[in-house]
Amino acid sequence: MTDLLDLRGLLDLIVACNDDDAVWKTYGWVWAQEGDAASVGFHPQTRRGDDATNDGDGEPEPPITTSPRLWLYLEAITVASILDVQKLSRPLSGLDDYAQALDYYSQHDTFLDHGEPAPRDREEADRQGLSPGLYAAFDLTLETVEPPQRKAAASLVAEVKALSVGEALAQVRALPLAVACNIDRASSDHLQARFAAIGLALQVTRYRSFPWQPIG
Candidate from 6-10, 115-119, 164-168 with smallest mean pLDDT: 115-119
Half-sphere exposure of 110 (CA within 13 A, CB side): 3
Mean pLDDT computed over 171-180: 98
Between 107 and 58, the higher pLDDT residue: 107
Cα–Cα distance measured from residue 103 to residue 192, given in angstroms and rounded to the nearest whole number: 40
Strand order in the sheet with 71-75: 42-46, 27-32, 71-75
What percent of the chain stands above pLDDT 70? 89
Please check the confidence at residue 113 and state whether its pLDDT lies above 60: yes
pLDDT of residue 65: 60
pLDDT of residue 69: 81
Task: State the first-to-last Cα distance of the chain, in angstroms, to the nearest integer.
Answer: 34
Cα–Cα distance measured from residue 93 to residue 153, given in angstroms and rounded to the nearest whole number: 40
Q: How far is CA 35 from the centre of its chain?
A: 26
Please check the confidence at residue 6 and state whether its pLDDT lies above 80: yes
pLDDT of residue 115: 87
Handedness of CA 111, 115, 120, 122 (dihedral sign): positive
- Of 122, 131, 64, 127, nearest to 90 by C-alpha is 122
Round the average pLDDT of the chain to a whole number and report it: 92
pLDDT of residue 191: 98
What percent of the chain stands above pLDDT 90? 84
Q: Which residues contact 42 (CB under 8 A, 6 or more apart)?
A: 4, 5, 6, 7, 9, 10, 30, 31, 32, 33, 73
Can you point out the beta strands (E) in the chain?
A: 27-32, 42-46, 71-75, 137-142, 177-183, 203-207
Candidate from 13-22, 46-55, 75-84 with smallest mean pLDDT: 46-55
Q: What is the dihedral of CA 74, 78, 79, 84, to 10 degrees?
A: -160
Q: Which residues contact 45 (CB under 8 A, 6 or more apart)?
A: 27, 28, 29, 30, 31, 51, 52, 63
Handedness of CA 167, 170, 171, 172 (dihedral sign): positive
Q: Which amino acid is at 119?
A: P
pLDDT of residue 10: 98
- Of 87, 85, 96, 82, nearest to 39 by C-alpha is 96
Contact between 149 and 198 under an 8 Å Cβ cutoff? The reply is yes
Q: How many CB atoms lie within 10 A of CB 12?
A: 15
